[in-house]
Structure 1
Amino acid sequence: MSIHSLTAKLLLVSVIVGLTGTAILAVLAATVTAGEFGDFMFRYRRSGLAELLADHYATNGTWEGLPREFSNRSLAGPSPRALGKAPFLSFLLVDNTGSVVVSGQGYQVGELVPEEGLSDGISIEVEGESVGELYLQSGAFDVGPAEQIFLRRVNFALAVGAIGGTAAAVVLGMVLARSLTKPLRELTAGARAVAAGELDTQVPVRSSDELGELAEAFNQMNADLATARDRRRQLTADVAHELRTPLSVILGHTEGIRDGVLEASAENLAIIHEEAQRLERLVEDLRILSLVESGELSLELGEYDPMALVEKTAASYRALAREKEIDLEVVSDGRELPTVRIDMDRMGQVLGNLVSNAVRHTPEGGSVILAAHAWTGGVEIQIKDSGAGIDPEDLPHIFERFYRADKSRQRDGAGSGLGLAIAKSLTEAHGGTIGAESQLGQGTTISLRIPKVA
């Protein structure tokens, strides 16, 4: 583990926090313990002294002779009978008349002590009757050897606890640091794998916190990159496939004419010209699609009546529909349509692609309907045909580049295979949406919605 790693830094932080907390607790515990123990011993010894004094009075019936008897007595020990292991400082004893019996705290024997002059005294009682008051200052007793041993043992126990707590903090900190940084190590390994081209790499999501969200975002990013890679590969393959056919036709005819196998007739030259136009359309469609998807396509927006767009598109394709004996009809609910803000040429290209598709895949004698009506957010334009319909498995993919729906919707060579993809991209560039509904044998309806002018 490197000292510069995040794991080491987290471990160091946990150790510092553990040491600081343990040291503070140890100091507080030692201070409080010493203080409480001192208070306890003071009260205990004061009670012992009071008991001795009470025994003296009970035996003698008077305080006379007390100073001489207590002149060399000590007051430390576990019981009143054992108050003889440490010297005590002076104390003040006052009889029940307020006269000083044993001098102390600035008062002399025989002097009267005012009631407000002292506080925190302890009453000395004999047979339930108060015979005097004992006054002793806090800390008047010296700490004896036994007490010193006890305090040393307490401090030693606190030190051992502090060391043990620090050791536990180190162990727990190491476990926690490695646990917290494990997702980051996995993400690092995953990022290196992605950098090496392994876009299918996924990392485990181990929690629902920020690290878990990061892992989910990383996995989603990889999935998106893998999808983009696959689409790029598929696009390359599709473009190569689309280019191969017209190029093969052009090469075949030009080589045939060069070798004298084919005549340089108007018919053969027309075939070459048609395939060249097909290549030109494919290149132009790819260029438009690339510009739209990169956001670089410039739109010349203006406010237009959507019905004018529908009528213009229908007029452009009526001749094609008439050739196939298809009825191309424009339908409106009669209500005034809201104005839309569009690039008239680009949206005309969208509707043209959709109507061209509908006419191309509608059998002779069928119908294609262009319908326009208002909806809450703007205008909805529908292109309905009476063709064979689209298989439900193909329907979600028809707006993808070069996607080939089987059978009835198979591209017949007249288009580039990018018409629906361009229609979707251009519609979305106008802030609109496009979708399709279809049932086999009942035709297809393409619906696009364009927002109205705010």
Structure 2
Amino acid sequence: MRSITIKLLLAFLAVGLIGTVFIALFAWSGTEREFGNLEFERWQEALLEQMAVYYSTSGGWEGVAEDVIRFNPGGGPGMRGWPRMAGPIILLDENGKVIIPGQGFMVGEEVHQQTFNKAIPIEVEGEEVGRLIAGQDALAVSASGEEFLGRVNQVLLLGALGAAGVALLLGIVLARTLTKPLRELTAATQAVAAGDLEQQVPVRSKAELGQLAEAFNQMNDNLARARDIRQQMTADIAHELRTPLSVILAHTEGIKDGVLPDSEETFQIIHDETMRLSTMVEDLRTLSLAETGELGLTLCMVSPDEMLRQAAAAQFPRAKQREITMDLELESRLPDIEVDPDRMAQVLGNLLDNALRYTPIGGQIILRAGSSSRGVTLFVQDNGPGVEPSELSHIFNRFYRVDKSRQRDEGGSGLGLAIAKSIVERHGGQIRAESRPGEGMTFIIELPVT
């Protein structure tokens, strides 16, 4: 984390320094350019003024060229007041004839009207007496000007250093601010690695770091939920295994000690409990494969009507024994569905087993098939005692048993509905239950049509 902070700090500092250097260079260049233009304008104004003074004093332009040429920037002979030359000049009389030559123009030559119009008028007492064309070369900056530019450079240097300092401070603040969520996430991740699944990190924004924090919190919630489910499942399995194992142990010890007779009835009880254990182990294996997506499916096109008929036929002997009526209500011309017929027979068998277990003697079970927006819908409905609506969200959980009439001593591994749900979802379908106390239970399976 320290390396990230240092890299961010160096990045901010580099950006600040580079930006400051460019700004300082542009400011210095612009200041020097504008100051030079200002000096040139002042020189031009002084030159025009001195030209007008010369004309007024001399009564004309005679001798002006010699006087300007004799001018010495150090203060040599010539008229006082002539400014230092900033570049070549061309002096024209009022008719456009050259008095002081330059830039290819000869004395006495008459310039083009366009050139004459661009020249600066020289006026004496409101009357134009000539025109001046002034060029700008390297202007000798005055001592005061050099002092001004020096102060400007000092200010720019101090500003650059100040900006670098501000960039450094901002870089420290921003680097710590940006890396704080990462430091918190690192600490929380280390705590999770040590086994603390209650860790949560604050979500400070909706940007990428905030999304990362939300994803971490969601992952940790899922891990904690998986841990709780695993612990609960372990406890449930131990609880479910305890009863048949206790029965088997009690009967075998009873036979060994001579307390119980080694009769067919005793061996039948041991056999039944052993089969119950075997069924539970196989159901756990099936459920594990289905939930992890490893349950193999052999898909083929199957008629929903035929699938319900076969399921009803398989459970008919049990229904007849309890005097329970099984009715089929099938919609005509239903499309075939692509399923694993053996696995779907297992689903319907589990649902019918549940219905037969809790439907009273002389009751009724209805199997229906119909079309829906999702494809084909299958219904398994009984007129048993039903359950509270609050129980419906739990009935597909492993080993979940509703109180009162749905007790462990009525058989079953407690995994049938969980297996049914996993297999249906493995087919891309959905399963749900609807019930009210005293109104029976209805299981609804929705399967897609390919």
TM-score w.r.t. structure 2 length? Answer: 0.93
Which residue of the other structure, out of 155, 158, 166, is the alignment partner of 2:156? 158
Gaps of 5+ in 1: none
SS of 1:365's equivalent? coil
Q: CA deviation at 1:379?
A: 1.6
Name the CA shift for 1:179/1:349 in 2 (closer, same or farther; >3 Å): same
Q: CA deviation at 1:66?
A: 3.1
- How large is the RMSD of aligned CA atoms in angstroms? 2.3
AA of the residue aligned to 1:421 = A
Q: CA deviation at 1:117?
A: 9.7
> How far apart in 2 are the matches of 1:247 and 1:391?
32
Equivalences, count: 445
Q: Report the counterpart of residue 54 of structure 2 in structure 1.
A: 56
Mapping of residues 327-346 of structure 1, within 5 Å: 327-333=325-331, 335-346=332-343
% identity of equivalent residues: 50
Q: CA deviation at 1:327?
A: 1.8
> How far apart in 2 are the matches of 1:389 and 1:295?
32
Name the CA shift for 1:431/1:160 in 2 (closer, same or farther; >3 Å): same
Which residue of the other structure, out of 424, 427, 432, is the alignment partner of 1:427? 424
Q: CA deviation at 1:89?
A: 5.7
- Post-superposition Cα deviations, 1:368-412, rounded to whole Å, max 9, x if no partner, equal 111111223322111111111112221101101111222233343
> How far apart in 2 are the matches of 1:88 and 1:252?
122
SS of 1:408's equivalent? coil
SS of 1:124's equivalent? strand
Name the CA shift for 1:58/1:229 in 2 (closer, same or farther; >3 Å): same
AA of the residue aligned to 1:177 = A
- Post-superposition Cα deviations, 1:76-103, rounded to whole Å, max 9, x if no partner, equal 9xxxx99578566663322223344345
Which residue of the other structure, out of 94, 111, 129, is the alignment partner of 1:96? 94
AA of the residue aligned to 1:368 = I
Conserved 8 A contact 2:380-2:444: yes
Q: CA deviation at 1:173?
A: 1.6
Which residue of the other structure, out of 340, 348, 351, is the alignment partner of 1:351? 348
AA of the residue aligned to 1:324 = R
Q: Given the alignment of the two structures, is residue 395 of structure 1 paired with residue 392 of structure 2, yes or no? A: yes
Q: Report the counterpart of residue 218 of structure 1 in structure 2.
A: 216
Q: Given the alignment of the two structures, is residue 414 of structure 1 paired with residue 411 of structure 2, yes or no? A: yes
Conserved 8 A contact 1:74-1:85: no
Q: Report the counterpart of residue 382 of structure 1 in structure 2.
A: 379
> How far apart in 2 are the matches of 1:204 and 1:89?
71
Which residue of the other structure, out of 286, 289, 293, is the alignment partner of 1:295? 293
Name the CA shift for 1:354/1:287 in 2 (closer, same or farther; >3 Å): same
After the TM superposition, list the runs of 4 or more consecutive aligned residues in structure 1 that deviate by more than 6 angstroms.
none
Q: CA deviation at 1:41?
A: 0.9
Q: Report the counterpart of residue 274 of structure 2 in structure 1.
A: 276
Conserved 8 A contact 2:40-2:86: no
Q: CA deviation at 1:413?
A: 4.1
Q: CA deviation at 1:129?
A: 2.4
Gaps of 5+ in 2: none
- Post-superposition Cα deviations, 1:351-372, rounded to whole Å, max 9, x if no partner, equal 0110110111112232111111
> How far apart in 2 are the matches of 1:89 and 1:327?
120
Conserved 8 A contact 1:313-1:348: yes
Deviates more, 1:346-355 or 1:53-62: 53-62
> How far apart in 2 are the matches of 1:324 and 1:340?
32
Deviates more, 1:281-290 or 1:187-196: 187-196
Q: Given the alignment of the two structures, is residue 361 of structure 1 paired with residue 361 of structure 2, yes or no? A: no
Name the CA shift for 1:83/1:270 in 2 (closer, same or farther; >3 Å): farther
> How far apart in 2 are the matches of 1:215 and 1:329?
55
Mapping of residues 101-180 of structure 1, within 5 Å: 101-105=99-103, 110-115=107-112, 121-139=119-137, 141-180=139-178
> How far apart in 1 are the matches of 2:87 and 2:298?
105
> How far apart in 2 are the matches of 1:385 and 1:12?
73
Conserved 8 A contact 1:86-1:144: no
SS of 1:303's equivalent? strand
Name the CA shift for 1:88/1:288 in 2 (closer, same or farther; >3 Å): closer
Q: Report the counterpart of residue 28 of structure 2 in structure 1.
A: 30
Q: CA deviation at 1:314?
A: 1.0
TM-score w.r.t. structure 1 length? Answer: 0.92
Q: Report the counterpart of residue 319 of structure 2 in structure 1.
A: 321
Deviates more, 1:60-69 or 1:151-160: 60-69
Mapping of residues 184-199 of structure 1, within 5 Å: 184-199=182-197
Conserved 8 A contact 2:50-2:81: no
Deviates more, 1:281-290 or 1:65-74: 65-74
SS of 1:208's equivalent? coil
